[in-house]
Amino acid sequence: MAFSLDPTEYRELLRTFLKEDLGAGDITTETTIPTSQQAQGELIAKAPLVLAGIGLFVEVFRLLDANAQADILRRDGEELSPGEVPVRLRAAARALLSGERVALNLLQRLSGVATLTRQFVKAVEGTGAQILDTRKTTPGLRALEKYAVRVGGGKSHRKDLSEAVLIKENHIRLAGGVTAALVAARAVKDRVAWIEIEVTNLEELREALEHAPDVILLDNMAPPKFSEAVKVVRAHPRGGKIRIEASGGVNLNNVREFADAGADWISVGALTHSAPAVDLSFEIEPIHS
């Protein structure tokens, strides 16, 4: 599958990242490296990973040197083994040195998200369950982190608070209960992608079922309890049309149990809030004229 991300659309964001790192200027590079020096850089995978954000990596250097040339050898979504080289760059040496940390930080972060997502997707392969992200993203990086989830094979949940109704525990408490919240939500049914409610026990679940939400989120239920709740939903006259989402307490060791128990969606906050950065290095050599 081909993944599309236009890095030029994120130039202002990348400039912000560079400004943060450069400050008043890269004093070390400006002091030691002539402006005329050209160099080549080679990105190397140091561990197994799923690549995500390679276009952004290159764009960082193009912001510092408009004449930078890139030979992109691997694309987003491809799995890399240690020692593989996804891109080679030729540019002003100063640009490669000054942009190295920003470019690597971003690529390692996004590839980490894609790599962890791919592990979850493979764990539920063949079940029909979909792995979803959440809104537990880094402020300012949501679009890119959710892109990385898709690169890894996951799906995007709500992109923001306006896309769908998701009634959670605090909403239920403040609205006056499950029924009150779902009745109120009907007013915007035609304006949102779906109406969903989070329940934590069978009593709340049975009450929610009487109002036929599009999605029911079974929150923080261990697999045996989750399986019991799924059976309650499917036994209800309207239960066949309701999507069931698992969330809370999901990890690589138990995600298959939730999928086998009948989850349609499995949302995993860890995809974006806890994915470890992957190991990549950028080795730079001078080009002698």
pLDDT, one tens digit per residue, over 41-74 is 999 999 999 999 999 999 999 999 999 999 999 9
Any catalytic annotation for residue 12?
A: no
Residue 288 has what pLDDT? 85
Superfamily of domain 7-121+276-287: Quinolinate phosphoribosyl transferase, N-terminal domain (3.90.1170.20)
Residues in the chain: 289
> Which class is 127-273 in CATH?
alpha beta
Any catalytic annotation for residue 101?
A: yes
Residue 4 has what pLDDT? 76
Question: Domain residues of the chain, as ranges?
Answer: 7-121+276-287, 127-273
Any catalytic annotation for residue 26?
A: no
Residue 3 has what pLDDT? 77
pLDDT, one tens digit per residue, over 222-232 is 999 999 999 99
- Cα-Cα-Cα-Cα torsion 223, 224, 230, 236, nearest 10 degrees, comes to -160
Stated as kind and residue range, the H or E segment containing 215 is: strand 215-219
Of 101, 155, 159, 206, which residue is the catalytic one? 101
Residue 2 has what pLDDT? 64
Of 59, 65, 133, 219, which residue is the catalytic one? 219
Any catalytic annotation for residue 62?
A: no
Helices (H), the chain: 11-22, 27-32, 54-64, 93-123, 142-151, 169-175, 178-185, 202-209, 223-235, 255-260, 270-273
All residue ranges of the chain with pLDDT < 50 are none
CA 198 → CA 136, 170, 177, 264, 286, distances in Å?
17, 10, 12, 15, 57
CB atoms under 10 Å from CB of 272, counted, come to 25
User: How far, in Å, CA of 79 to CA of 75, rounded?
Assistant: 9
